[in-house]
Amino acid sequence: MEEAEAQQTRSIELEVEVQGTPEEVWRAMATGPGISSWYVPHEVAEHEGGDALARFGPGDDMLAPGRVAVWDPPNRIVFDGGPGADTGEPGAMAFEWRVEARAGGSCVVRLVNSGFGTGTDWDDQYDAMTEGWKLFMANLRLHLEHFAGRSATPCIPIAYWPGGRDDAWMRLLSGLGVEDLPAEGDPVDLGVPDGPRLVGRVAEVGPHHVLMLVDKPAPGTAFVAAEGVEGALMVSVWSYLYG
């Protein structure tokens, strides 16, 4: 019984409705330029068994190699850690994406991120990745609504800060020149004195994130966020610019 319980896993299951045909959505979900335009820089060999490589920051330690385990355009793609990764054990992560057409020119994108163990040791990781995926899927929605078929250049600076999340979030906003949390639709101008700025309007606001459509320095999307828990708290200012 103890061994069976140790092998139990759980999955994150999320969905978002996006604009576009299945073929347009598939390009955003299953190609390197498409994924790089709303998530992190990717290289994808576009066939079953092909290599997939994600970059989460500078340096080789921020590379995440993987494999295209299933390639079924424009309906379903699965990424995993490579041959031997489909063990079904905790830690054997897989990412399944499905595209389902809807009437009126939209699609539903469904994600199943499997491989999480159960118990308190896994809870923080499960919660953090659930929250992160919600943010990236909202960015995917913006990409397909405003920039379908185009490829963005991603910029994904992050830092790890001590202290509590609420305090880090307010310090991040203040450091970017935002004194009051904006509302959806508000104009926003983020940046530091004598440094680059992101100017546009707010598309979505959460307790610890702001997602925006960018006008300057080039059209695109961006978000600022404070994620994680004390001791593993990450702050980020990510942008995806088309120009």
Quick one: residue 228, left, alpha or beta (phi over 0 = left, psi -120 to 50 = alpha)? left
Dist. CA 161–CA 63, nearest whole Å:
22
Q: Are 42 and 56 in contact (CB under 8 A)?
A: no
Q: What is the pLDDT of residues 111-124, one digit of tens each?
A: 999 999 998 889 98
Stretch 70-96: mean pLDDT = 88
Is pLDDT of 4 > 60? Answer: no
Dist. CA 5–CA 116, nearest whole Å:
13
Dist. CA 239–CA 243, nearest whole Å:
12
> For residue 79, what pLDDT band results from cuts at 50, 70 and 90?
very high
- For the chain, what percent of residues have pLDDT higher than 70? 95
* 3-state secondary structure at position 222: strand
86 or 151: which leads in pLDDT: 151
80 burial via Cβ count (<10 Å: 0-12, 13-18, 19+): buried
Length of the chain: 243
Tell whether pTM > 0.85: yes
Q: Are 32 and 44 in contact (CB under 8 A)?
A: yes
In 10 A of CB 120, how many CB atoms? 6
pLDDT of the residue at 73: 98
Q: Which of 134, 143, 148 is nearest to 214 (CA)?
A: 143
151 or 6: which leads in pLDDT: 151
